[in-house]
Amino acid sequence: MMMNEDTIHKGGVSVDLPGSRTTRMNKPLMVDMLRVALRENRIIFYRRFVVSQPDYATCSDVKEEMITQLKSFCRILKENKMNPSAANTITYDGKGGGGQDDFVITIMLSILMRSVFYTKSKYQKYW
């Protein structure tokens, strides 16, 4: 199912495009939702976990990479060097040291979109 949660504003009209947008506004919410899911052991690897290209990466490889990315994903406080009296910026990233965070972002988007799916009335007909 494709969800239309990538809203753009064009000519005074809001248009919902397929997909979702990761922004400075919703990323902290996604991180909080991930923390809760991890704390409550709601993220698990199913026994029948499969990968689409087993010659490229085995299930064990993918699981190990997911765990590595989760461990390296962190909150980064960036000071405003141009204006020290301005508020610092908080970002979230797992790419430090040449790493990746694609799996973490995918997990966070999945958790967020599940919540959106069950809270927005426009999706109620699919429940």
Reported as a single tens digit per residue, the pLDDT across 55-112 is: 888 888 888 999 999 999 999 888 888 887 888 888 888 887 778 999 999 999 999 9
Let me know if residue 72 belongs to a domain.
yes
Let me know if residue 117 belongs to a domain.
yes
Other Cβ atoms less than 10 A from the Cβ of 94: the count is: 19
Q: What is the pLDDT of residue 93?
A: 87
Let me know if residue 8 belongs to a domain.
no
Let me know if residue 16 belongs to a domain.
no
Range of the domain at 42: 22-126
Let me know if residue 6 belongs to a domain.
no
CA distances from 55 to 36, 50, 51, 61, 69 (A): 34, 12, 9, 11, 21
Q: What is the pLDDT of residue 48?
A: 82
Let me know if residue 17 belongs to a domain.
no
Q: Tell me whether residue 34 is exposed, middle or buried, using C-beta atoms within 10 angstroms of its C-beta: 0 to 12, 13 to 18, 19 or more.
A: buried
Report the candidate in 55, 58, 66 with the shortest Cα–Cα distance to residue 99: 66
The residue behind tokens 């927005």 is 120
* pLDDT tops 80 at residue 16: yes
Let me know if residue 84 belongs to a domain.
yes
Let me know if residue 110 belongs to a domain.
yes
Other Cβ atoms less than 10 A from the Cβ of 113: the count is: 17
Q: How confident is the model at residue 36 (pLDDT cuts 50, 70, 90)?
A: very high
Percent of the chain with pLDDT over 90: 34
Q: What is the pLDDT of residue 109?
A: 92
Structural domain count, the chain: 1
